């Protein structure tokens, strides 16, 4: 007797634990369902990317000889939920004696699946997702007894565990972290390299057309569609990155430039997160580039740290702290999300660029997410729930296990400092240092007050003033509060007045 093996949209890996012991009587279920496509109103491009990748993966499994039940969103009888589709598949094949599924990446769905055990007529087996490098039990053991969870120490343990960039017991190059080399501003003469941006194939085109009509009222553009939707395509993107882009990844990792969405970033997160690429394999290939002398250590270490460090660490934090994590609001921020987060229409050039490309590509690189939109949301006191929802729906790589800690913890400090030892708040000066946005902005980055003053400046000091009682005792904020106390009273009140007027004028937007 066979079993039903459910594969979710972000589980498109042949090595998936739920597929490991697949037999000839088993049925693999992959289902496009309204509940997953709309529990937040995902960017159109995210839905098209995932549905196309799911259809390609189903075709690959079929070609490998497996029985696949693929349910399209517009199929007659589609139940609209994963539970409904599992129940329907069991009814259609009464001989199936159980359901096997790899644990999902989001708490909400995990809760739902736990209940399937009572709701379905056959046993449900939930298997661990071992596509990650650090099993959750190992992360929990590492976290036990610690008051703060600093990524850097966790990262060193994963370096030792994997042997990545290790020379015996020592880190390659004598240092664990080369971040101080990775903060260069882009010189005017330097242009980011050409990218691997594949054309959609016929299957993907069909999905894009379907999404255009079915999800017309969702955020974002479908064109240009430049994501690969097959394993082979994702591998080609990976190989192009290794050969052409990785050497510059470190130097310009924190840089931003107007009209340049990609810079030297890998554009691999959407493939890693839906299972088309494997994290350890990608890291081993990056290390091989350094060992062969084709990429410098600061680039390769920086890249590997993002994957075996940050990516694994945020997943651990998510499962350690949910569900209460999402409920915290340590800085008591309650302002609704302004309309321009959906339209991109604002005189702030940095925000218009970051949101505009998010709308166009369902992608923004890390510094835009953290230091432009995230920083704005932090210093403007936007409600973490609204901001989390925005980040979860706008990016093609967004699933709650990775989105929530990055937004709630890193960007918004809503967890009270569990992830970041101080808020990533910055004035316009930081954005000016790391980008060329300010030169073509309607605002003046040097001005702190007045009509033309950069909003990041007065919002920053307003944030510092507003949160003085909460943040002043933080050692890492001591210098900032010293500077704050040296500011003339009348300048502080002028900035706070400008901040209040600006914030009052924002209004609230809906997707």
The residue ranges that bind ligand SF4 (CB under 6 A) are: 348-350, 428, 431-432, 437-438, 441, 443, 445, 454-456
DSSP bridge partners of 167: 170
Shortest spacing between CB 423 and ligand FAD, in angstroms:
13
Q: How far is CA 57 from CA 32, 317, 397, 457, 497, in A?
A: 13, 30, 18, 48, 56
CB of 445 to ligand SF4, least distance (A): 4
Q: What is the CA radius of gyration of the chain?
A: 24
Give the shortest CB-340-to-ligand DLZ separation in angstroms: 25
Query: What is the distance between the alpha carbons of residues 3 and 26, in angstroms, rounded to a whole number?
Result: 5
Cβ at position 457, least distance to ligand SF4 in Å: 7
Which residue lies nearer to ligand DLZ by CB, 106 or 312? 106
Q: Hey, what are 139's tokens?
A: 């992360």
Give least dist CB 232 to ligand DLZ, A: 21
Shortest reach from residue 415's CB to ligand FAD, in Å: 13
User: How buried is 358 (Cβ within 10 angstroms: 0-12 exposed, 13-18 middle, 19+ buried)?
Assistant: buried
> Which run of H or of E encompasses 127?
strand 124-127
Residue 129's alpha-carbon distances to 19, 140, 232, 268, 306, in angstroms, are: 11, 15, 22, 20, 20
Of positions 182, 407, 435, 457, contacts ligand FAD by CB under 6 A: 407
Beta carbon nearer to ligand DLZ, 83 or 231 = 83
Q: Which is nearer to ligand FAD, 261 or 453 (CB)?
A: 261
Binding partner selected for residue 431 from ligand DLZ, ligand FAD, ligand SF4, none, CB under the kind-specific 5 to 8 Å limit: ligand SF4
- 260 Rama sector, left if φ>0, alpha if ψ -120 to 50, beta otherwise: beta
Query: Which helix (H) or strand (E) covers residue 359, if one does?
Result: helix 349-361
Q: How many residues bind ligand FAD (CB under 6 A)?
A: 28
What angle separates helix 151-162 from helix 136-143, to the nearest 10 degrees?
130
DSSP state at residue 250: T
Binding test (CB under 6 A) with ligand FAD, winner from 383, 397, 415, 498: 397
Judged by CB, which is closer to ligand FAD: 297, or 492? 297
Coarse DSSP helix, strand, coil percentages of the chain, rounded to the nearest 5 percent: 50, 5, 40
Task: Choose between 40 and 425: whose C-beta lies nearer to ligand DLZ.
Answer: 40
Residue 133, SS3 per DSSP: coil
Which one, 271 or 437, has the nearer CB to ligand FAD? Answer: 271
Among 398, 419, 453, 499, contact with ligand FAD (rule: CB under 6 A): 398
User: Which residue, 142 or 376, has its beta carbon nearer to ligand FAD?
Assistant: 376
Helices within 71-143 (DSSP H only): 82-92, 107-119, 136-143
Token digits of residue 2: 């066979």
Element (H, E) at 462: helix 455-466
* Residue 395 sits in the site that holds ligand FAD (CB under 6 A): yes
CB of 82 to ligand DLZ, least distance (A): 6
Residues in the chain: 511
Instruction: Write the DSSP symbol of residue 438.
Output: G
**Minimal distance in Å, beta carbon 442 to ligand FAD?**
25
- The closest residue (CB) to ligand DLZ is 9
Query: Hey, which residues between 308 and 367 contact ligand FAD (CB under 6 A)?
Result: 310-311, 314, 365-366
Task: Tell the smallest beta-carbon distance from residue 369 to ligand SF4 (Å).
Answer: 15
From the list ligand DLZ, ligand SF4, ligand FAD, none, partner contacted by residue 272 (C-beta under 5 to 8 A by kind): ligand FAD
In angstroms, rounded to a whole number, what is the distance separating the alpha carbons of residues 452 and 215? 39
Answer yes or no whether residue 273 interacts with ligand FAD by CB under 6 A: yes
Longest CA–CA separation in the chain, Å: 79
Return residues touching ligand DLZ (CB under 6 A).
8-10, 31-33, 36-37, 42, 47, 50, 82, 104-106, 109, 399
CB atoms within 10 A of CB 347: 12
Site string for ligand FAD, 291-310 (x = CB under 6 A): ------------x--xx--x
Measured distance CA(283)–CA(280) in Å, rounded: 5
Note the residues at the interface with ligand FAD (CB under 6 A).
Answer: 265-269, 272-273, 303, 306-307, 310-311, 314, 365-366, 369-370, 374, 391, 395, 397-398, 402-403, 406-407, 410-411
């Amino acid at each position: 007797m066979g079993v039903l093996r459910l594969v979710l949209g972000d589980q498109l890996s042949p090595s998936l634990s739920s597929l490991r012991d697949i037999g000839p009587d088993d049925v693999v279920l992959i289902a496009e369902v309204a509940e997953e496509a709309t529990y937040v109103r995902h960017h159109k491009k995210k839905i098209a990317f995932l549905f196309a990748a799911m259809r390609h993966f189903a075709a690959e499994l079929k070609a490998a000889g497996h029985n696949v039940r693929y349910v399209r969103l517009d199929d007659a009888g589609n139940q609209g939920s994963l539970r409904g589709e599992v129940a329907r598949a069991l009814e259609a094949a009464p001989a199936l004696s159980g359901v096997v599924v790899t644990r999902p990446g989001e708490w909400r769905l995990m809760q739902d699946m736990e209940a399937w055990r009572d709701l379905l007529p056959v046993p449900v087996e939930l298997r661990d997702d071992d596509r990650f490098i650090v099993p959750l039990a190992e992360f929990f053991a590492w976290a036990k007894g610690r008051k703060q969870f600093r990524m850097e120490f966790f990262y060193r343990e994963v370096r030792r565990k994997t042997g990545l960039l290790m020379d015996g017991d020592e880190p390659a190059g004598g240092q664990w972290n080369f971040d101080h080399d990775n903060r260069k501003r882009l010189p005017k003469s330097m242009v980011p390299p050409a990218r691997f941006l594949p054309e959609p194939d016929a299957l993907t085109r069909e999905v894009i057309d379907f999404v255009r009509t079915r999800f017309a009222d969702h955020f974002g553009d479908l064109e240009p569609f430049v994501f690969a939707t097959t394993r082979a395509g994702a591998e080609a993107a990976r190989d192009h990155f290794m050969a052409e882009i990785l050497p510059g990844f470190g130097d310009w990792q924190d840089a931003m430039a107007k009209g340049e969405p990609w810079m030297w970033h890998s554009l691999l997160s959407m493939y890693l997160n839906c299972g088309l690429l494997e994290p350890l394999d990608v890291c081993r290939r990056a290390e091989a580039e350094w060992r062969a002398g084709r990429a410098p250590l600061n680039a390769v270490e920086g890249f590997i740290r993002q994957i075996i460090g940050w990516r694994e660490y945020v997943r651990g934090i998510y499962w350690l702290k949910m569900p209460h994590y999402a409920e915290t609001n340590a800085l008591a921020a309650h302002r609704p999300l302004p309309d321009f987060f959906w339209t991109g229409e604002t005189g702030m050039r940095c925000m218009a660029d970051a949101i505009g490309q998010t709308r166009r590509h369902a992608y923004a690189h890390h510094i835009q997410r953290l230091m432009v939109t995230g920083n704005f949301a932090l210093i403007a006191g936007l409600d973490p729930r609204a901001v989390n929802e925005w980040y979860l729906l706008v990016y093609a790589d967004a699933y709650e296990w990775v989105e929530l800690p990055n937004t709630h913890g890193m960007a918004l400090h809503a967890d009270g400092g569990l992830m970041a030892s101080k808020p990533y708040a910055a004035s316009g000066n930081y954005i000016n240092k790391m980008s060329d946005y300010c030169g073509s902005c309607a605002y003046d980055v040097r001005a702190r007050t007045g009509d033309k003053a950069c909003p990041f400046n007065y919002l920053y000091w307003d944030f510092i003033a507003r949160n003085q009682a909460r943040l002043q005792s933080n050692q890492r904020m001591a210098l900032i509060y010293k500077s704050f106390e040296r500011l003339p009273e009348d300048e502080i009140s002028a900035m706070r007045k400008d901040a209040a007027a600006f914030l009052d004028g924002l209004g609230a937007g809906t997707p």
